[in-house]
Structure 1
Amino acid sequence: MSDLVPGLRAATNQPPPLVGHNVVTADLALTDALVRHGSPELVDDLAPLGEEAGTEEAREHGMLANRHHPELTPYDRFGNRVDEVEFHPSWHWLMERAVGHGLQAAPWEQQESGAEHAHLRRAAGFFAWSQTEPGHGCPISMTYAAVPALRADDAIAKEWAPLLAARSYDPGVRVRSAKTGALAGMGMTEKQGGSDVRANVTSARPTAEDGWYALHGHKWFTSAPMNDVFLVLAQADGGMTCFLVPRVLDDGTRNRIDVVRLKDKLGNRSNASGELELDGTLAQRLGDEGRGVRTIIEMVAATRLDCVLGSAALMRHALAEASWHVAHRSAFGGLLVDKPLMQNVVADLAVESEAATALAMRLASAVDRPDDAHEVALRRIALPLAKFWVCKRTPAMVAEALECLGGNGYVEESGLPLMFRESPLNSIWEGSGNVNALDVLRALGREPEVLQAWISEVGAARGGDSRLDRAVDDTLALLGDSMGDSGALESGARRLAGQMAACLQGSLLVRFAPAEVADAFCGSRLGTAYAGTFGMLTSGSLREVVQRATPTT
């Protein structure tokens, strides 16, 4: 029968898999931002990472790492408590390359040695490599974020920072002196408190050794419990304090860290998030007693940036799959990409993705200028703004991209279901939407320089688009109207944060993006009754927007 019907077993009108493209150089929004805030050499430097991220091998490892879940082994076969988590080899493949590309703590040491654009380079690399698989970005992000907090104690920083910055992936439970590289985690939240870490009840009692304490309590979420060292918060006599908890003590004995269970999460399955019990766990005080939240705040800033980068990466990955699909799939007599309504949808997705990418890279560039007062103030206000807005926009955007693939997008093999499940994560991690919106109000109320930094940043585009100008004026008016009423101010915090973030994105696009992208953004996101459903653009050259966003191989 097959001889009579040639090609009976061959699928037709199916797009080829999106492999063989360079995830960095094929992303014009990303490369433009790298040149704008850094240099063309950054693009060249990251091109090998982008090439590897776009390979069929990387895609397969990402799939396998999520198909084969981490497994907890509380005891060894002799009955010894070991609390080890085993990962699939594909997890280690992804981790080895992420560390090797310097996506963990390497930028901090590079910055100290005078390297330019170290954090921008790392942010772009993290953004691109996260598109291979999102889960392994968690330990990479926590390791990156740990170094600023470690600087609260010079001695501790000298012991751990070089290992965290090393480009050597060295998994396994071993003493620090026997490792060529290390990874960090954190344990903040507890059952009764969640984001309210001041409600934590884990206690810290001083030991006979100066600076060391015994911790007693629990941690509700600790990602990557196989990491080498953890930053945790606990109640000491002087109040909430930050501690460093090594998994293995200097004498080679394992610290008392009991992994009670691994969480069954909504999103990725590659990473392990554990619930820990601490019972006499030894920890080194990091900073003064009672200053735990202040000590950890720089870690929070770094992980918030990675939340923005991670969400922007999900957007870009979903957009790439959608635009690639419609460029190769035919329906109703022609390619989907040539259908005006589908063109509108994909162009709208592309605008959303480019706005997120532009804002994320702008914030990363600010980390490279810690001595610039404007950059410091802008980072303070724009991080919670971007964390709130970009992370909130991601689930709807990824869902729309999935729909572009139709039923194929609903099948696990496409990768879109994993992206969709993952899409709410960064809005929850490191402070929910409400926490970040309220942090914006806190910054505006306590640090007047942050509002001026926002005004200066959006003001750089003044006169470039009347819709953006009106949106900035309306946002300032909204802020002024609410300042005298604390209840109204808090109730409207999300609206204010969303408008301020959209104005920042609009300013960047008006100044730097192609005219058709900026026009579409300002016409749909600023000063309109935009319903939030993609595919409702009324301005902009849609075909050009889609072409700019579609990957090439």
Structure 2
Amino acid sequence: MSSPNPAGGAPRPDLRASTNQAPLLVGHDVVASDAALVEAVTRHASAEVVDDLSALGLLAGSAEAREHGMLANRHHPELTPYDRWGNRVDEVEFHPSWHWLMERAVGQGLAAAPWESDSPHAHVRRAAGFMAWSHTDPGHGCPISMTYAAVPALRADDALAKEWTPLLASTTYDPGLRPLAEKRGALAGMGMTEKQGGSDVRANVTRAVPTGTDGEYTLHGHKWFTSAPMNDVFLVLAQAEDGVTCFVVPRVLPDGSRNRLDVVRLKDKLGNRSNASSELELDGTVAVRLGDEGRGVRTIIEMVAATRLDCVLGSTSLMRHSLNEAAWHVTHRSAFGGLLADKPLMQNVVADLQLEVEAATALAVRLAAAVDRASDPHEAALRRIALPLAKFWVCKRTPGFVAEALECLGGNGYVEESGLPLLYREAPLNSVWEGSGNVNALDVLRALSREPEVLDAWITEVGAARGGDARLDLAVEDTLRLLGDSAGLEVSARRLAGRMAACLQGALLVRHAPPEVADAFCASRLADGHDGTYGMLAGGDLATLVERATPAV
């Protein structure tokens, strides 16, 4: 747009008009626009499951959902420890947009609903929905994830499982501190880490004292990191007479009184701002033992495994979301005489980012399918080894990925309104929570040394693609040689975990992805390795990869 120049000559540009700016990315189906996700869900479930997720995908890609996500992160949770009369209440208030997001996540069955479902593909559906809905706001995925993960741990005690599972699996979002009997739906949390121990939960000092009532204790200690303190129930570790033990801690007791969970403060975190993460003091907190005394780690590990899966799903979603924004931008932004999307070097960057998303998506949905088929010994063993592999690898690669996607937008990507800074702050989170990179790499070694069936499962899974690509075959052989170096395994645990994960991704892509995707992945990730710098693909069908990366509106 321009206006006449009173001095003559060319018209002056209208300084109030904006040109060459990408429109807001809204109005697309987050599920249907993701070719890799659609293919994986169809492969491990059915096309009907993809169709069933269409309404969720459309809502996740709407302007309304985008605005709620931004508002939930702009208006942080606020702690009110005491009411106006001085009574201890420990209430955390959330912005209405948080509740809008939570209501839809629970309503779509993204919490614990799959555990009560008759569908053979319930966990694949939930995984795809969780990835899609996380595009709105990653923070509220935390209580959704913990609620999902609590159910398999609660199964250590039939009575407790029957008491809590129906409400955790409910698709009704019913916030507020009330007795269980008055709730139509419930949410769960987890309290493991303490100040002196972190990931070393056996160093915890919180004490559990029996009350004399069968299975009931009081807890006394300080929990360093407990997210979503307004949830209805928490699985907590504490030291009983026979060692670390798992306990079920209700937020409100059956008589309607509030259990003694004093919220000391809310954490001031790098990201994940919409979600309240807290320190708790427990002093006479009523708890019910879950599992045997001294077996707490083994009991709660089922919850940890499920939350690790969601870390993989969440990181995959962060990558997909940031790539959507980058691909959308370069498709609408012109520079140096043409669209950025038509520039060979930008195509290389976007194509390389798409490869990362393809591999992460294939592995994430494969893991969800293993949960659906948990009674199969191969699936159970594969889940045991592939979860820490994927948690280490996918989550570790996310921060660099999101930084590269942000850079595609240039200075626009560094501005809060773009949404990319929010994703960038969120990107390291899943690599830290539920066991850092080192913890997961060492867990891989632990599984390999104690459970020989897990290596057999990995070999079987990658072996299904044998002969499909010589570079993959060679990478698998090199990885097996790494396993033979028993003296240096611990110091090279990260390298081993990364190679095992990349081989697993490569095998899935060779077997199932379009040939141009599998070829480019094996060439860049297995033959040459990948130093974390995107946009260094040596040829290949870049245009097809860019097309798969670009959301359709």
Which bin holds the TM-score, normalised by the shorter protein? over 0.9
Partner of 1:117: 121
Partner of 2:301: 297
| 1:406 aligns to 2:418 (yes or no) | no
Partner of 2:166: 162
Partner of 1:427: 431
| Cα drift, residue 529 of structure 1 | 4.8
Partner of 2:311: 307
AA in 1 matched with 2:64: E
| 1:222 aligns to 2:226 (yes or no) | yes
Partner of 1:97: 104
Contact 1:148/1:298 (<8 A) preserved: yes
Partner of 1:265: 269
CA shift digits 1:218-246 (9 cap, x unpaired): 10000000000000000001111000000
Among 190, 194, 199, which residue is 1:195 paired with?
199
Whole-Å separation in 2 of the counterparts to 1:199 and 1:213: 20
Partner of 2:23: 16
| Cα drift, residue 131 of structure 1 | 0.8
Partner of 1:287: 291
1:309-458 equivalences under 5 Å are: 309-458=313-462
Whole-Å separation in 2 of the counterparts to 1:530 and 1:449: 30
AA in 1 matched with 2:275: N
Sort the Cα spacing of 1:66 and 1:388 in 2 relative to 1 into closer, same or farther, 3 A. Answer: same
| Cα drift, residue 530 of structure 1 | 3.0
SS of the aligned residue for 2:465 comes to coil
Whole-Å separation in 1 of the counterparts to 2:532 and 2:211: 56
TM-score, reference length from structure 1: 0.98
AA in 1 matched with 2:205: V
Whole-Å separation in 2 of the counterparts to 1:387 and 1:419: 18
Partner of 2:180: 176
Contact 1:387/1:436 (<8 A) preserved: yes
Whole-Å separation in 2 of the counterparts to 1:535 and 1:208: 64
Count of matched residue pairs: 546
| Cα drift, residue 462 of structure 1 | 0.8
Whole-Å separation in 2 of the counterparts to 1:415 and 1:458: 37
Partner of 2:492: 492
Runs of 4+ in structure 1 off by over 6 angstroms are none
| 1:53 aligns to 2:60 (yes or no) | yes
SS of the aligned residue for 1:490 comes to coil
Whole-Å separation in 1 of the counterparts to 2:206 and 2:131: 35
SS of the aligned residue for 1:526 comes to helix
CA shift digits 1:112-145 (9 cap, x unpaired): xx32100000000001000111000000000000
Partner of 2:533: 533
Partner of 1:86: 93
Q: Which runs of 5+ in 2 are unaligned?
A: 5-11
Among 89, 108, 125, which residue is 2:115 paired with?
108
Whole-Å separation in 2 of the counterparts to 1:6 and 1:428: 49
Contact 1:517/1:540 (<8 A) preserved: no
Partner of 1:244: 248
Whole-Å separation in 2 of the counterparts to 1:6 and 1:445: 70
| Cα drift, residue 269 of structure 1 | 0.8
SS of the aligned residue for 1:77 comes to coil
AA in 2 matched with 1:33: A
CA shift digits 1:336-386 (9 cap, x unpaired): 000000000000000001110110000000000111111001000000000
Contact 1:523/1:539 (<8 A) preserved: no
Q: Which runs of 5+ in 1 are unaligned?
A: none
Whole-Å separation in 2 of the counterparts to 1:527 and 1:25: 32
| Cα drift, residue 539 of structure 1 | 3.5
AA in 1 matched with 2:540: G
Whole-Å separation in 2 of the counterparts to 1:325 and 1:53: 19
Contact 1:242/1:293 (<8 A) preserved: yes
Identify the range of structure 1 (135-144 vs 114-123) with the bigger mean alpha-carbon deviation.
Answer: 114-123
Whole-Å separation in 2 of the counterparts to 1:180 and 1:86: 20
1:508-523 equivalences under 5 Å are: 508-523=508-523
Among 69, 73, 85, which residue is 2:80 paired with?
73
| 1:506 aligns to 2:510 (yes or no) | no
Calculate the aligned-residue CA RMSD, in Å.
1.1
Contact 1:69/1:88 (<8 A) preserved: yes
Partner of 1:28: 35
| Cα drift, residue 399 of structure 1 | 0.3
Sort the Cα spacing of 1:75 and 1:2 in 2 relative to 1 into closer, same or farther, 3 A. Answer: farther
AA in 1 matched with 2:360: A
Partner of 1:127: 131
| Cα drift, residue 531 of structure 1 | 2.1
Whole-Å separation in 2 of the counterparts to 1:179 and 1:3: 63
| Cα drift, residue 268 of structure 1 | 2.0
| Cα drift, residue 2 of structure 1 | 8.3
